[in-house]
Amino acid sequence: MSKQATSKQTHVSELLDLFRRLGYDGATLAKISQTTGLGKASLYHHFPGGKDEMVEAVLVALEHGSEQITAEMLQVQGDAPARLRKMCDRLSKVYDNGQKPCLLAALLSGSAKDAFRDRVEKLLQLWIRAIATVLTTAGMDETLACQRGEDGVMMIQGALILAQGLQDPAPFQRVMQQIPETLCRPLQ
């Protein structure tokens, strides 16, 4: 990997944290420059398309990370709850046990919501399908498994928002513990 590509990757990680905290509108070029340590000319050297290209690079990295996590979850041996626990363990690390906000929620509010809606939808669908695949492999009806996939994503996203709003990661941590059994429960 070239020095420039490595440098750009380093900045993508910094940008992820910045956009998570401030959203698209709050991440001004001044704040981006301060966070990355790059001047305006260097920012445009790495990201000629400006802030939109920065967000795209962050979303690509997030997509690759999500694909890795879902692939691991699908490859884990064991029953559905064990596989979902693997996913929850990895997501807990990604979100620092509920300390870090979700980029997707940040991008869906503000002026950039329409520009990145398709990318956000793609990432959410990735998670829904991965959870549904685990559940259908365990014998659950496909329609119910898809609904449970949506439920799982709602639980995660809702817990992240609650944890940020309360400035307390406990709700996120609790939900991550509950997801495997909740999604695998039989119909009453």
Q: Are 172 and 160 in contact (CB under 8 A)?
A: yes
55-184 adopts what CATH topology?
A: Tetracycline Repressor; domain 2 (1.10.357)
pLDDT score, position 167: 96
Q: Stretch 169-188: mean pLDDT, rounded? A: 93
* 101-152 pLDDT tens trace: 999 988 888 888 899 999 999 999 999 999 999 999 999 999 999 999 999 9
The pTM of this model reads 0.87
pLDDT score, position 3: 47
Three-class secondary structure of residue 52 per DSSP: helix
* 38-75 pLDDT tens trace: 998 999 899 999 999 999 999 999 999 999 888 888 88
* DSSP assignment string, the chain: --HHHHHHHHHHHHHHHHHHHHHHHH--HHHHHHHHT--HHHHHHH-TTHHHHHHHHHHHHHHHHHHHHHHHHHH--S-HHHHHHHHHHHHHHHTGGGTSPPHHHHHTSSTTHHHHHHHHHHHHHHHHHHHHHHHHHTT--HHHHHHHHHHHHHHHHHHHHHHHHHT-SHHHHHHHHHHHHHHHPPP-
pLDDT score, position 1: 46
Query: Residue 98 and residue 171: Cα distance in Å, rounded?
Result: 8
Query: Residue 21 and residue 28: Cα distance in Å, rounded?
Result: 12
pLDDT score, position 133: 94
pLDDT score, position 74: 80
Nearest to residue 131, comparing CAs of 151, 116, 114, 113?
151
Structure tokens at 81: 């709850």
Q: Which residue has the tokens 């609904």?
A: 147
pLDDT score, position 91: 94
- First-to-last C-alpha distance (Å) of the chain: 53
Domain regions of the chain by residue span = 55-184
Of residues 10 and 111, which shows the higher confidence score?
Answer: 111
Cα separations (Å) of 150 from 32, 43, 145, 158?
Answer: 33, 37, 9, 12
Please determine, for residue 188, whether its predicted confidence score (pLDDT) is greater than 90. no
